[in-house]
Structure 1
Amino acid sequence: MTVGGRMKEYHILSLSGGKDSAALALYIKNNYPDIHKKIQYCFCDTELEVPEVYEYLNKLELYLNKPILYLKPEVSFQHIYDTRKILPKPQNRWCTVELKTKTMQKFIKNLTPSEDCIINLYIGIRADETQRTKTATSNNPNIKEQFLLVKDGLIKKDIIDILNKSGIGLPRYLEWKSRSGCFFCFYQSKLEWINLYERHPDLYKKAMDYEFKNCKEIRNGSFGWRSDITLEEMIKPANIKKIKENYAKMSNKKNKGNAGRLIDLI
């Protein structure tokens, strides 16, 4: 599609619910007003995020004074799980592919029925993590990845400054977990699982219900969120105490003199 002899351009920023993509959105609004006018802010909603993620997106939307488009997957996690009878894991992240990647790909395809266009995709990778740009590129020739934070030299400290100065601050879930994502994310540490149990016991119970009870099946990694312990075992008082003690020791070694917030370990 061309406009006045020029290829039509689209501008998209897919928010993750995390601090970097949120700061990028704020940075665009305050420093690139022309892009802000044209850009579509969106969020691939698995409907499985912790409540604090949705709370954070609502705050961000108010500041941006522009709606965030919530994109829903064609097929739910529950349907895929019921069909495959296997949980996602680091070696097989079908949850990311099915609920996030394919959802965004479909949105872009519907947005651009013609191949004669340019899609500027803004990605929240910082200047102190440029190695990540190598794996954040698309095979679609129409997509141009835009790494504004890298281009303008913004590092983690700048991200936190942007969020604090806006009044939005950091997402509240960073008080107890290190990343955004589904409440049952298999990347969670044992401590983060315990934190989920103590803050959102209903969500912990949902995650627990997905696990099979047969120890052999769980320990081979097919039907448990972790290969070393079930969620049911994890919340026994003795295990909770041990997990917290182990984390406290690790935190003291890594962060002498600070409060040991999870955000400081990111």
Structure 2
Amino acid sequence: MRVDGDPEDTTKRQLFDWPQTDGYLQYLSEKLDLPLIIIWGDLSLEERIRDRKMFPDSSCRFCTSYMKRDVYAKWVRQFDNCKILLLTGERSEESKERSKKPVFMLHSAHATNKKNRTVHWLKPIKDMLKHQVRQLAADYGIELHPCYEWVSRCSCKFCIFNTASEMQRTSRLFPEDWEYLKQMEVDLGHTLKSRNGGSLSLSDFIQEDQLSLNSIMWSAELAYI
């Protein structure tokens, strides 16, 4: 599923999807002998952000609802007289909110009465720890997505939940996209990050990581002295 929309549409900037993802999905498709279908919505995440004049945040994660859940539900509803099992990789360890979600449930696209469409939603690794998931992948000879070299979660390049150090690493990987994203903050009058209910620009956010690093180095020097 792509949040940047159709990759062939030159009017849509490939701003949030990792460029390695399509290739990685092809690798998994061949490794697991499963057909690969990549879907996306009519609007890209950037277009959604500009329409709403704000970035998503933890209390209004329209990046997840509009770009993922709704797109999948629309795609599934084209099928009748079928049984579908949706697998997703959320884990309880990631957040308190995710820990409260059930492991197995009916999906919103479930419609047995009129469409004879059964759709279940399973989170098979929900109660596993990160090291257990990595070991499971290793046991079956499955390589991890390349993004794990720079970030802890396989989400958007510039995810709202990225730490300062993760955002800094990503900014160095994609400097043009980083500058574009900072200009979006100016255009919208809204920042991707916040602190205590107030705005926090991306530049100030990653600067916090550098200040923290400098503080650690200074403390280490004092301890050495």
**What is the TM-score normalised by the length of structure 2?**
0.68
The answer to whether the Cα contact below 8 Å between 1:190 and 1:243 also exists between their aligned partners in 2 is: no
Q: In structure 1, how many angstroms separate the alpha carbons of the residues matched to 2:164 and 2:105? A: 29
The answer to whether the Cα contact below 8 Å between 2:2 and 2:39 also exists between their aligned partners in 1 is: yes
Q: In structure 2, how many angstroms separate the alpha carbons of the residues matched to 1:98 and 1:204? A: 23
Query: 5+ residue gaps in structure 2?
Result: 5-15, 112-117, 219-225
C-alpha change, 1:100 and 1:136, in structure 2 (3 Å) is farther
Aligned: 1:63 with 2:31: yes
Q: What does residue range 103-142 of structure 1 map to in structure 2 within 5 Å?
A: 103-112=71-80, 116-124=81-89, 131-133=100-102, 137-139=106-108, 140=110, 142=118
Aligned: 1:144 with 2:120: yes
The answer to whether the Cα contact below 8 Å between 1:124 and 1:147 also exists between their aligned partners in 2 is: yes
Q: In structure 2, how many angstroms separate the alpha carbons of the residues matched to 1:70 and 1:165? A: 27
Identity of aligned residues (%): 19
The number of residues matched between the two structures is 192
C-alpha change, 1:81 and 1:157, in structure 2 (3 Å) is closer
1:232 to 197, 203, 217: 203
The answer to whether the Cα contact below 8 Å between 1:191 and 1:243 also exists between their aligned partners in 2 is: no
Q: What does residue range 33-182 of structure 1 map to in structure 2 within 5 Å?
A: 44-47=1-4, 48-112=16-80, 116-124=81-89, 131-133=100-102, 137-139=106-108, 140=110, 142-149=118-125, 156-182=130-156
The answer to whether the Cα contact below 8 Å between 1:234 and 1:240 also exists between their aligned partners in 2 is: yes
CA distances 1:141-184 after superposition (whole Å, capped 9, x unpaired): 5322235557xx86644432232234333222222211122222
C-alpha change, 1:137 and 1:166, in structure 2 (3 Å) is same
Aligned AA for 1:78?
E
C-alpha change, 1:224 and 1:54, in structure 2 (3 Å) is same
Aligned AA for 1:73?
G
C-alpha change, 1:126 and 1:226, in structure 2 (3 Å) is closer
The answer to whether the Cα contact below 8 Å between 2:41 and 2:67 also exists between their aligned partners in 1 is: yes
1:67 is paired with a residue whose SS is coil
Find the counterpart in structure 1 of residue 211 from structure 2: 242
Moved over 6 A (4+): 126-130, 246-249
Looking at secondary structure, tell me which structure has more helix per residue.
1
Query: 5+ residue gaps in structure 1?
Result: 1-43, 218-222, 250-266
CA distances 1:114-142 after superposition (whole Å, capped 9, x unpaired): xx543222333569887432696534353
